[in-house]
Amino acid sequence: MKRALYPGTFDPITLGHLDVLARALHLFDRVEVTVAVNAAKTTLFTLEERVRLIEASAAGLDGAERVTVTAFEGLLVDHARAQGAVALIRGLRQVSDFDYEFRMALANRRLAPEIQTVYLMPSEDHTFVAASLVREIHRWGGDTSSFVPEAVERAFQGLQAQR
């Protein structure tokens, strides 16, 4: 049984992330979406909210029963080893992602040579979609519904109502 980890900040999960997750489910028996706990990074959604939004969003995918959602703190490769994962999934949207991803993949490979990083390209509809962009659209009251899963859109509307 081949298990992959799909790590990220997911603040919040976007349709691009969901697209990558769906592709990963074609390649691996189990995919664990794992949310990084990073006290140094301020996020719009709490860790618990991000986990819940991923669970709600992934529930509609083919193969949803093979998805788990967790949080991790510390080195990603330590979590991957502890979970028995053979691969790390990352989305690659455009050339500007490459520099950061290349450094991260090589560092992770140095630390854990037995774990492969697998890059998946989302559909071209989502190549420009980033969580930071979506948060900015939301901040200024724009329509985020074509960028995020329904559960996230509802959460955004909830935040709007609180203002």
Q: Which residues bind ligand PNS (CB under 6 A)?
A: 7-9, 36, 75-76, 104, 107-108
Structure tokens at 47: 């860790």
Whichever of 84 and 157 has its CB closer to ligand PNS, that residue is 84
Instruction: Specify which residues 31 forms β-bridges with.
Output: 4, 67
- In whole angstroms, the minimum distance from the beta carbon of 4 to ligand PNS comes to 13
- In whole angstroms, the minimum distance from the beta carbon of 107 to ligand PNS comes to 4
User: How far is Cα 139 from Cα 17, in angstroms, rounded to an integer?
Assistant: 20
Whichever of 57 and 108 has its CB closer to ligand PNS, that residue is 108
Whichever of 20 and 155 has its CB closer to ligand PNS, that residue is 20
Give whole-number Cα distances, 6 to 25, 28, 89, 139, 141, in Å. 11, 11, 5, 27, 30
- In whole angstroms, the minimum distance from the beta carbon of 82 to ligand PNS comes to 13
Whichever of 9 and 83 has its CB closer to ligand PNS, that residue is 9
- In whole angstroms, the minimum distance from the beta carbon of 78 to ligand PNS comes to 8
Q: Which residues contact 73 (CB under 8 A, 6 or more apart)?
A: 36, 37
What is the residue type of 38? Answer: N
